[in-house]
Amino acid sequence: LERALYNLLLNACEAVASNAGEIEVELREISGGVEIRVCDNGRGIPESVRGKLFEPFVSYGKENGTGLGLTVVQKIVQDHGGDVTVEKTSVAGTVFRLLLPLTASSESAPRRPGETKPAPPPMARTKQAQSE
């Protein structure tokens, strides 16, 4: 999740004017989960690009970049059982909203470095009778 937030904050930093921009990160508990909002007062995202924002190689307003940042954000958030949306975008800025469950299933729960997934239960093995 750290990478997802980093990507959203990096995009917000690139969207705001160098000294006049504002970025806010809001975190609040909601029923069964947590909501994280990353808000900026940057240039906004045109309607023509909004529907494609989470597709690979889509970028807006940058000279550099791969267009993978929001695709990565979406993948990470979905892997944690959540969802990410563009809540608002206009000439007054953009708001990205992440909704995440408070508890994740054991399959999607993040793991500590070096921690491995539990091994699946052993499969039953049968012996074949050999003909003599």
Higher pLDDT, 126 or 116: 116
Q: Has residue 118 been placed in a domain?
A: no
Examine residue 84 and state whether it is found in any structural domain, yes or no: yes
Say what the pTM is.
0.73
Is 46 inside any structural domain?
Answer: yes
Instruction: Examine residue 124 and state whether it is found in any structural domain, yes or no.
Output: no
Residue 41 maps to a domain: yes
pLDDT of 127? 38
pLDDT attached to residue 115? 57
Q: Domain range for residue 72?
A: 2-17+24-101
DSSP state for residue 29 in the 8-state scheme: E
Measured CA angle at 75 (ends 28, 84), to 5 deg: 35
d(CA 128, CA 36): 57
The CATH number given to whatever domain includes residue 75 is: 3.30.565.10
Residue 33 pLDDT? 95
* 74, 100 contact by CB (below 8 A): no
Rounded average pLDDT over 43-61:
86
The mean pLDDT value of the chain amounts to 81
**CB of 43 closer than 8 Å to CB of 14:** no
Between 42 and 105, name the one with better pLDDT.
Answer: 42
State the sign of the Cα–Cα–Cα–Cα dihedral 5, 10, 13, 14: negative
pLDDT tens-digit readout, 69-124: 999 999 999 999 999 999 877 878 899 999 999 875 545 555 555 555 555 444 44
CA distances from 118 to 11, 93, 98 (A): 36, 44, 28
Instruction: Provide, rounded to the nearest whole percent, the portion of the chain with pLDDT above 70.
Output: 77
pLDDT at 126: 37
